[in-house]
Amino acid sequence: CSSGDGIIFRSKLPAIPIPNHLPLHAYCFQSLPDSADRPCLIVGSSGKSYTYAETHLICRKTAAGLSNLGISRGDVIMILLPNCPEFVFTFIGASMIGAVTTTANPFYTPSEILKQFKASAAKLIVTQSSFVDKLGHFSRLSLHEEEEEEGVGGHRHRHRQGGSAAAILGKDFTVITVDDPPESCLHFSVLSEANDQSPPDWEQEVVHYYSASCSCSRKLEFEFDPDDPVALPFSSGTTGLPKGVVLTHRSLITSVAQQVDGENPNLHLRGDDVVLCLLPLFHIYSLNSVLLCSLRAGAAVLLMHKFEIGALLELIQRHRVSVAAVVPPLVLALAKNPVVEGFDLSSLRLVLSGAAPLAKDLEDALRTRVPQAVLGQGYGMTEAGPVLSMCLGFAKQPFPTKSGSCGTVVRNAELKVIDPVTGSSLGYNQSGEICIRGQQIMKGYLNDPEATARTIDVEGWLHTGDIGYVDEDDEVFIVDRVKEIIKFKGFQVPPAELEALLLSHASIADAAVVPQKDEAAGEVPVAFVVCSKGMEVTEEAIKQFVAKQRAQWMHMHMQVVFYKRLYKVYFVHAIPKSPSGKILRKDLRAKLAAA
């Protein structure tokens, strides 16, 4: 804590040198010579595993394959996959050629995917065949109708036939599937089995990057700037619709280093750790704190593509999982579900919870089930790179911590708490808006300088929209949220999206969507609705309108992904608004709390 231009909180750990002049993949695989024969990726469902050397080689081939398909520095590709090795190969492969990956939830509806796809100007999608129909649907709706001659576009492996919905896909973008490709899509082997021209002396390559900070590597021959984007997750931030969050090589390396680098790393991952990767890699929490941190530390990543409590417990037991990253609803399952008692969880030494508030009593309840493990929280926000604070109980030389705390601000960063009204910075134990500054934060929102300026001020402080305080032991506590976002099991639900949908209904004159507390999900979206004059509509009809589910083409006719459905509709005469027309969400939330 220091004064000067206000009170600034820092980590209790000393600042460290961070090699954030490197490309992200070179940083993550920097210790490859030592970890080459150790397991890197383990597929939970099949038991198949890839060593560090194998993983790195396939990533390199994937890079060459992407390059063969015309992807080059600055191009965006989209990954639409559940957790699987191909996700990792594609993300790292893209980094190797200076391309940018945007990740989306494969359970998104066609329109949700389309919005992100268009906004990011992606040129290629890596997905699985069961999701391709969604893309055929949106390309028919929004891209040109007519067929294009075969062979145009210069893409070597492209194979297209007219007729089906999917057939017109290849015209504007390439679709690659990790399983049997439907018509006009390519199989992932065009990437993973591509001929990597460069000799397999990765060791040299790493050294190469290291010595030539931002020049081209002789072998991979691409220009590189640490401020090039590498990941483009989408987040609605403090207000409005989802926006592309530009994370650069510099920001992600900084964030990973803040967690796992240094003599006393804040999050001490070891080469012999098995790290659970159950949370979806399309979300920055898992991508950063699980995958990238594990790669950097040389730990094994156990990939699970879906949650099922029995399978999870069985895998923890079988693979002796030592580190688990979870979200509060998973803490609830682990702490309360009676089936847990039949399994051996003694291998767990660290359990990290993040992405949504974790109740203190729930944390304590889990502690009785895994007494040998250190439990703690990380606090992140996609825009912040993402980690702001992390439990110091996870450090190599740990510090004592308290239940309910979100950890201490990460090293090489500054955190302040400001009075939301006056903007002046506050001291210990005073609640206000949490702001963060450091090289890990996003470069900005994609093509949206206004939204960027609203979030990162001229002094470089990123305003989180979270209300919290720092206690006398430097631990961060989050107490409230002033931004709109609703967190359903850690997933973002942007109210603006549901409000726009509601306003498109003929019988609805005005609407506001706010979070309501829920034991299982943390929060669920509920709506306040004003009916148009003379119109009548039922709660059920409104819920159906938002979900719009039909038996046959389930995902086609759904407006929004399952967790964005309304759980309750309250009919009101007017939505409370400020003189400038902003919805007074606080008043609505207070109404819910009082009910």
Residues that bind ligand AYL (CB under 6 A): 235, 284-285, 288-289, 354-357, 377-382, 386-387, 406, 464, 466, 478, 481, 487, 492
C-beta closer to ligand AYL: residue 167 or 467: 467
Is the C-alpha dihedral spanning 345, 351, 355, 358 positive or negative?
positive
Q: How far is the CB of 306 from ligand AYL (least distance, A)?
A: 20
Closest distance of CB 266 from ligand AYL, Å: 10
Give 50 or 379: the residue with its C-beta nearer to ligand AYL. Answer: 379
Q: How far is CA 594 from CA 146, 223, 585, in A?
A: 57, 58, 14
Provide the minimum distance between the beta carbon of 522 and ligand AYL in the complex, in angstroms, as a whole number. 9
**Residue 433 CB, nearest approach to ligand AYL (Å):** 11
How far, in Å, are 9, 432, 581 from residue 421 at the CA level?
20, 9, 19
Say how far apart CA 126 and CA 450 lie, in whole Å: 31
- 574 vs 437: CA distance, rounded Å: 40
How far is it, in rounded angstroms, from Cα 403 to Cα 409?
16
List, in sequence order, every beta strand (DSSP E) within 281-431: 300-303, 323-326, 350-353, 374-380, 387-390, 408-409, 414-418
The CA–CA distances, whole Å, from 248 to 72, 491, 566 equal 16, 23, 35
Q: Which of 390, 385, 386 is nearest to 353 (CA)?
A: 390
Q: How far is the CB of 481 from ligand AYL (least distance, A)?
A: 5
Residue 61 DSSP code = H
Contacts of 587 (CB under 8 A, 6+ apart): 576
CB nearer to ligand AYL: pick between 202 and 394 = 394
Relative to beta strand 414-418, strand 432-437 is: antiparallel
Nearest to 384 by CA among 413, 417, 352: 413
Q: How far is the CB of 289 from ligand AYL (least distance, A)?
A: 4
Helices then strands, each counted (H, E), the chain: 20, 27
Nearer to ligand AYL, 90 or 405 (CB): 405
CB of 381 to ligand AYL, least distance (A): 4
Q: What is the CB-side half-sphere exposure of residue 500 using CA atoms within 13 A?
A: 10
Tell me if 26 sits within 8 A of 217, measured CB to CB.
no
What's the token pair of residue 378? 């990380």
Give whichever of 348 and 356 is closer to ligand AYL, judged by the CB atom: 356
Fill in the DSSP letter of residue 170: H
Cβ 286 to ligand AYL shortest distance, Å: 8
- Nearer to ligand AYL by Cβ, of 182 and 385: the residue is 385
What is the sign, positive or negative, of the torsion defined by CA atoms of 312, 313, 314, 315? positive
Least Å distance, CB 202 to ligand AYL, is 28
Closest CB to ligand AYL among 260 and 569?
260
Write down the least CB distance from residue 327 to ligand AYL, Å: 9
- Closest CB to ligand AYL among 66 and 390? 390
Q: Judged by CB, which is closer to ligand AYL: 404, or 576?
A: 404
In the bound state with ligand AYL, the residue whose beta carbon lies nearer, of 209 and 379, is 379
DSSP state of 98: T
Burial call 508-533: b when 16+ CB within 10 Å, e when fewer: bebbbbbbbeeeebbbbbbbbbbbee
Burial of 566 (0-12, 13-18, 19+ CB in 10 A): buried
Burial letters for 434-447: b for 16+ Cβ neighbours within 10 Å, e otherwise?
bbbbbbbbbbbbbe
Phi and psi dihedrals of 318, rounded to 5?
-65, -45
- Of 58 and 413, nearer to ligand AYL (C-beta) is 413
CB of residue 374 to ligand AYL, shortest distance in Å: 14
Which residue, 137 or 481, has its beta carbon nearer to ligand AYL?
A: 481
Is the CB of residue 324 less than 8 Å from the CB of residue 346? Answer: no
Find the distance separating the first CA and the last CA of the chain, reported in whole Å.
41
Q: How far is the CB of 386 from ligand AYL (least distance, A)?
A: 4
* Strands 476-481 and 462-470, bridge-based pairing: antiparallel
In whole angstroms, give the CA distance from residue 524 to residue 164: 39
> Of 370, 393, 380, which Cα lies nearest the Cα of 287?
380
* Closest to ligand AYL by CB, 168 or 245: 245
Q: How far is the CB of 466 from ligand AYL (least distance, A)?
A: 5
CB of 426 to ligand AYL, least distance (A): 18
Least separation in angstroms between residue 504's CB and ligand AYL is 26
Residue with Cβ nearer ligand AYL (355 or 527):
355
- Closest to ligand AYL by CB, 493 vs 546, is 493
